């Protein structure tokens, strides 16, 4: 559904880049519920927004006061800093007052993009996250849950998987409430989990065994290539499992608690909720 601006015209307009994605769609929904005028930043919207077409940026930023920046496919990819710098320059030129950027934990390239936002001269908020719970229901790993086997080269490295609803809640708070300017919110779930732990929680939620199968790096990358995935997808998965998943993010942070004053959602609760829907019905 195309959304340009809500009926509450006395509030400033917010542009949500990636407004049809995992975090963006939730942010749009929450902002609308608050009566905040929203412009969805996507190729299918009017005006459209396309990271690969700089001519779309100025029209999308026109009359906008706040921007949620979600760079696709990831801030780690080559060229991301150039794109973020160009967008920030245009946003400042257009009179944007506040930038909220979704960044990646433990990614040097993502932190370089953060600095561009922080040095923009306008108010900013950084929201950092890594592995999403929703990767198992809305992303790359949902077919593995259906098949009953999570086959990845993840070893026993623990990660504090974070729920996308928590990310959206923090972003909305930053976009609509005072007190979040100049904050770096590093978001995690409430516990460290290996992929074997993930498989165990999924098994309990679905009442069916979901196994974790360790792959070698070569098997994993070779399988992605054989599936016909685009080169950028192969690069991203290779990067995630060789660079980011090395233990650098094996710690809990208090970003959700600081931003929202509550505890983050646990993966087990997420799994129980999704198991009640049709998403994993093939695995039930």
140 and 241 share one domain:
yes
pLDDT at 212 over 90: yes
Collapsing DSSP to helix, strand or coil, 40 comes out as: strand
Query: Mean pLDDT, to the nearest integer, of 75-99?
Result: 97
Tens of pLDDT along 45-66?
999 999 999 999 999 999 999 9
CA distance 184 to 186: 6
Tens of pLDDT along 176-198?
999 999 999 999 999 999 999 99
Q: Are 132 and 161 in contact (CB under 8 A)?
A: yes
Is residue 184 assigned to a domain?
Answer: no
* Number of domains, the chain: 2
246 and 136 share one domain:
yes
244 and 136 share one domain:
yes
36 and 71 share one domain:
yes
Output the pLDDT for position 258: 98
Output the pLDDT for position 233: 87
For residue 88 the two structure tokens come to: 């920030």
User: How many other C-beta atoms lie within 10 A of the C-beta of residue 14?
Assistant: 26
278 and 139 share one domain:
yes
71 and 150 share one domain:
no
Is residue 226 assigned to a domain?
Answer: yes
Is residue 283 assigned to a domain?
Answer: yes
Instruction: Write the CATH number for 218.
Output: 3.90.25.10
Is residue 150 assigned to a domain?
Answer: yes
> Could you tell me the pTM of the whole model?
0.94
59 and 141 share one domain:
no
104 and 234 share one domain:
no
Is residue 259 assigned to a domain?
Answer: no
For residue 126 the two structure tokens come to: 């950084």
Q: Are 123 and 182 in contact (CB under 8 A)?
A: yes
Is residue 233 exposed (0-12), middle (13-18) or buried (19+ Cβ within 10 Å)?
middle
Share of the chain above pLDDT 90, in %: 90
151 and 124 share one domain:
no
Q: Which of 129, 147, 178 is the last residue in one of the domains?
A: 129
Output the pLDDT for position 4: 42
111 and 137 share one domain:
no
Is residue 261 assigned to a domain?
Answer: no
pLDDT at 3 over 60: no
Output the pLDDT for position 243: 87
Instruction: Write the CATH number for 21.
Output: 3.40.50.720
97 and 23 share one domain:
yes
Query: Mean pLDDT, to the nearest integer, of 15-22?
Result: 98
- Tell me which residue range forms the domain holding 2: 1-129
Is residue 180 assigned to a domain?
Answer: no
DSSP for residue 33? H
Is residue 260 assigned to a domain?
Answer: no
138 and 119 share one domain:
no
CA distance 105 to 111: 8
**137 phi-psi bin (left φ>0, alpha ψ -120 to 50, beta other):** alpha
Q: How confident is the model at residue 242 (pLDDT cuts 50, 70, 90)?
A: confident
């Amino acid at each position: 559904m195309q959304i340009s601006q809500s009926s509450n015209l006395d509030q400033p307009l917010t542009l949500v880049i990636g407004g049809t994605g995992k975090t963006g769609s939730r942010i749009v929904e929450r902002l609308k519920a608050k009566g905040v005028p929203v412009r969805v930043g996507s190729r299918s919207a009017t005006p459209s927004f396309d990271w690969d077409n700089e001519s779309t940026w100025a029209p999308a930023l026109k009359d906008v006061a706040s921007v949620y920046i979600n760079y696709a496919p990831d801030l780690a990819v080559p060229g991301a800093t150039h794109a973020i710098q160009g967008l920030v320059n245009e946003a400042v030129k257009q009179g944007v007052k506040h930038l909220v950027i979704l960044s990646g934990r433990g990614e040097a390239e993502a932190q370089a993009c953060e600095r561009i936002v922080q040095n923009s001269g306008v108010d900013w908020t950084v929201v950092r996250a890594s592995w999403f719970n929703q990767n198992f229901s809305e992303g790359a790993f949902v077919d593995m849950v259906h098949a009953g086997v999570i086959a990845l080269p993840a070893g026993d490295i623990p990660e504090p998987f974070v729920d996308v609803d928590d990310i959206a809640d923090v972003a909305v708070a930053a976009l609509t409430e005072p007190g979040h300017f100049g904050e770096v919110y590093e978001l995690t779930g409430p516990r460290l989990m290996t992929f074997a732990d993930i498989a165990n929680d999924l098994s309990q939620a679905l009442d069916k065994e979901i196994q974790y199968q360790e792959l070698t790096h070569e098997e994993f990358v070779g399988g992605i290539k054989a599936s016909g995935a685009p080169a950028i997808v192969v690069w991203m998965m290779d990067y995630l499992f060789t660079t980011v998943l090395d233990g650098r993010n094996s710690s809990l942070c208090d970003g959700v608690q600081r931003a929202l004053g509550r505890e983050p959602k646990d993966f087990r609760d997420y799994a129980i909720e999704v198991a009640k829907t049709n998403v994993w019905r093939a695995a039930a």
